[in-house]
Amino acid sequence: MEKEKFNVIVVGGGPAGIISAVTARKYYPDKRILLIKSVGKGAVPCGIPYMFKTLQKPEDNILGNAPLEKNGISVMVDEVLSVDRKGKAVKTRSGQILPYEKLILAIGSNPIIPPIKGVDKKGVFPIYKDLEYLKGLKGELSRAKSILIVGGGFIGIEFADEFSDIKGLKVCLVELLPHLLMNSFDPEFGELVGEKLRAKGVGIMTGKKVEELLGEGKVAEACLSNKTCVPTDLVVLGIGAAPNTKLAEETGLDLGRGKGIWVDEYMRTPDPDVFAVGDCAGKRDFFTRKDLPVMLASTATAEARVAGANLYQLKVVRENKGTIAIYSTYVSGLVLGSAGLTESSARKEGFEVVVGTAEAPNKHPATLPGTEKTKIKLIFSKQSGIIMGGQVAGGICAGEIINIIGMAIQQRVSSTELETLQLATHPHLTSAPTMYPLVLAAQDAVGKI
């Protein structure tokens, strides 16, 4: 029997791989599409922090093949070891040579392992998006009395929140920078998370570096830059990820200065038949076009939609000319969202900015049960009045307010437009029309322009 030949091969079964395959199916219904993934049972990445207490069992967070099967996309569990761009074929670990017309690299990222002495000891866990591996961490947690998290970015704080719900487990978090979430929030927002975590008993040490992990084979203590040592049974590394570019480099594709695979606006590498999407692909800042190491599932899927649609012809003209690094996070009932530049990053980059802030109850009247406060900060260009960034903290609605701000940034909306925004409001659903915090924050900024 002749082996099936595929027109499109997608390498990688994370969010970027799945969405590029599904989008390619929609735009090119006649093409045969194969997705090759090295991990049979992956985990939904954003759900990983919640696999240890909130979800009943780790399997509730499986990244399955359902959307692929539903769309008639073939799936193979194997690892692509090399790409022959001249011969237009990939070679896999199982020895298969598979020709392609169009190739999409969606090979993701790997957790950064910091050069800490003793980091290779047992009991130290970088976060791999692999269900079986994460089940191993869950097993270790059930026997541990204490855990130390390295890194106070969104992954670190989400783990701290989850672990602090495990009875009898002492949780510590160490962050090198002076505040939590400092890469994407100004300090007054990071401090809100600190308060929440401290109230749950998490020991937070900011402005300190983990210098050495001690223990006979297995980690037992973490020694910090302030010359103190913290006893710990386990360590989780949450300090970020680096694009996985080995395959691309070996086949001679360029890397950007940010070290992701170089791609144009349409996610094409310099080889017009090879695309790269998601964490492995280079990103550029929306305002400066500088290389930006932002790795988010939401960015990955947006890129995947661009690539999937434009594989054979440029069908979808891309409007987004860079990443606005938009995301939200959740700690013990508190939602935080950030998009675009923070006040500190904008000033550091040399932008002349004004800032508008506002706080308002998220229901009206505020005496309604379940009312929470929404806090908003908006950053505008002083001369042009265009929105450059925003941060929100509050209840569940803050998760969607940040998406409104993200849209405003992408559309380069002015402070005046935001100040005169037409909105739907309802006592149970939103802040009062008289004090909608997004509008008030814009108004606050307009007064300073």
Ligand X SMILES: Cc1cc2nc3c(=O)[nH]c(=O)nc-3n(C[C@H](O)[C@H](O)[C@H](O)COP(=O)(O)OP(=O)(O)OC[C@H]3O[C@@H](n4cnc5c(N)ncnc54)[C@H](O)[C@@H]3O)c2cc1C
Which among 102, 105, 32, 106 is positioned nearest to 312, based on CA atoms?
A: 102
Q: Which residues, 6+ apart, have CB-to-CB distance to 173 below 8 Å?
A: 148, 149, 151, 152, 156, 157, 160, 180, 197, 202, 203, 204, 205
Please report how close the Cβ of residue 433 comes to ligand X at its closest, in angstroms: 31
The torsion of the CA quartet 220, 224, 229, 230, rounded to 10 degrees, works out to: -60
Q: Which residues, 6+ apart, have CB-to-CB distance to 67 below 8 Å?
A: 18, 22
Nearer to ligand X (CB atom), residue 134 or residue 440:
134
How many other C-beta atoms are found inside a 10 Å radius of the C-beta of residue 446?
17
First to last CA, the chain: 72
- Is the alpha carbon torsion for 44, 50, 54, 56 positive or negative? positive
Determine the number of helices (DSSP H) and then strands (DSSP E) in the chain.
11, 25
Which among 330, 267, 258, 259 is positioned nearest to 301, based on CA atoms?
A: 267
Angle between helix axes 297-309 and 15-27 (nearest 10 degrees) is 30
Please report how close the Cβ of residue 326 comes to ligand X at its closest, in angstroms: 9
Nearer to ligand X (CB atom), residue 155 or residue 222:
155
Nearer to ligand X (CB atom), residue 300 or residue 360:
300
- Is the alpha carbon torsion for 151, 156, 161, 165 positive or negative? negative
Nearer to ligand X (CB atom), residue 155 or residue 387:
155
> Can you name the residues that pair with 224 across neighbouring β-strands?
210
d(CA 65, CA 80): 19
Please report how close the Cβ of residue 14 comes to ligand X at its closest, in angstroms: 2
Nearer to ligand X (CB atom), residue 330 or residue 436:
330
Please report how close the Cβ of residue 279 comes to ligand X at its closest, in angstroms: 4
Give, as one character, the DSSP assignment of residue 121. S
Nearer to ligand X (CB atom), residue 330 or residue 351:
330
Nearer to ligand X (CB atom), residue 38 or residue 332:
38
Structure tokens at 104: 């999409």
Please report how close the Cβ of residue 328 comes to ligand X at its closest, in angstroms: 7
Please report how close the Cβ of residue 158 comes to ligand X at its closest, in angstroms: 7
Nearer to ligand X (CB atom), residue 75 or residue 354:
75
SS3 state of residue 61: helix
**Site residues (CB under 6 A) for ligand X?**
11-17, 36-39, 42, 45-46, 48-49, 79-80, 106-109, 127, 129, 155, 244, 247, 278-279, 295-298, 300, 327
Nearer to ligand X (CB atom), residue 155 or residue 354:
155
Nearer to ligand X (CB atom), residue 279 or residue 444:
279
Please report how close the Cβ of residue 257 comes to ligand X at its closest, in angstroms: 19
Nearer to ligand X (CB atom), residue 54 or residue 416:
54
Please report how close the Cβ of residue 312 comes to ligand X at its closest, in angstroms: 22
d(CA 435, CA 421): 12
Q: What are phi and psi of 75, to 5 degrees?
A: -125, 135
Please report how close the Cβ of residue 181 comes to ligand X at its closest, in angstroms: 13
Please report how close the Cβ of residue 169 comes to ligand X at its closest, in angstroms: 18
Contact 381, 356 (CB under 8 A): no
Please report how close the Cβ of residue 324 comes to ligand X at its closest, in angstroms: 12
Which among 17, 24, 14, 13 is positioned nearest to 72, based on CA atoms?
A: 24
Residue 337 buriedness (CB in 10 A; 0-12 / 13-18 / 19+):
buried
Please report how close the Cβ of residue 360 comes to ligand X at its closest, in angstroms: 26
Nearer to ligand X (CB atom), residue 11 or residue 388:
11
d(CA 251, CA 83): 6
Give, as one character, the DSSP assignment of residue 106. -
